[in-house]
Amino acid sequence: MRLLKMLLIFSLFQNMNYLSHYYILREYGEPSFTLGKVIPDLLRIFGPAHKIRKARNIETPQRASEWIMKGAYVHLESDRLFHQSAYFENETQHLKEEIKAGSSIRKYRYFYAHIFLEMLIDRLLLLEYPELGRHFYENLERMETSDVQAFFELQAIAVDVDAFMQILHRFRKSRYLFEYLDDSGFLYAFTRILNQSGLPPLNRENRDFMITLIHKSEERLKAGFLRMLQEIEASIR
């Protein structure tokens, strides 16, 4: 029963790989496209009933609401392709084994590995493309309430647009993805997600191990993470 409850919470916690979604088919001049790529996760804050499960791929968007729709489609498709990929399966399994061998974590190692992998990919993107995070947040700063309202009407989403814009404002203002660049910031963000998803916290020994694992895993992942993202992009394009 506890595992089922934890799985439900896990499916609703805040996303770990916002920049990965942004990187795929990125359009620096389309803020609505950027919002579309994060809106499935931001709407989860309002409860599972507001989770976007399907979105249309609009080939030539003309209005902001259509760009948001296309962005949501890219988010859902990239999530599906990533979680079904051999890359995800192999790297999650590798991290799970590393956690098993080097820490005292005995339960839910798969979930720890899943979270850790997605965060590491965003960290590597920030290191590879220092301006990527800035462009991401600048695009979101340009969003207008009227454009979000139009998308809600298009999708028949029963969420108060002003409440959503407050969430978006806090998300933009925090710029918490930049925390990933610092080891202690990365670990703080990691433990925060553990708390939100109902996973047991890390003791001091395990925190020290996870910081070591950051650098060890970075060296291995550098060789293939961009190729994996580009393959997903090619499948969606």
Residue 12: its pLDDT value, please?
39
Q: CB-side exposure of 33: number of CA atoms within 13 Å? A: 18
Residues 166-201, buried b or exposed e (16+ Cβ, 10 A)? eebeebeeeeebebbeeeeebbebbbebbeebbbee
Q: What are the distances in angstroms from CA 104 to CA 109, 176, 200?
A: 10, 28, 12
Task: List the pLDDT tens digit at each of the 237 positions of the chain.
Answer: 444 444 434 443 445 689 999 999 988 789 999 999 999 989 988 877 777 878 889 989 999 999 999 999 999 999 999 999 999 999 999 999 999 999 999 989 999 999 999 999 999 999 999 999 999 999 999 999 999 999 999 888 889 999 999 999 999 999 989 999 999 999 999 998 888 778 888 999 999 999 999 999 999 999 899 999 999 999 998
- What does the alpha-carbon distance between residue 181 and residue 16 come to, in Å, rounded to a whole number? 14
Domain ranges across the chain: 2-236
Instruction: Tell me the three state secondary structure of residue 210.
Output: helix
Instruction: Tell me the three state secondary structure of residue 113.
Output: helix
- What does the alpha-carbon distance between residue 28 and residue 96 come to, in Å, rounded to a whole number? 36
Instruction: Tell me the three state secondary structure of residue 220.
Output: helix
Spatial neighbors of 162 by CB under 8 A, at least 6 apart, are 145
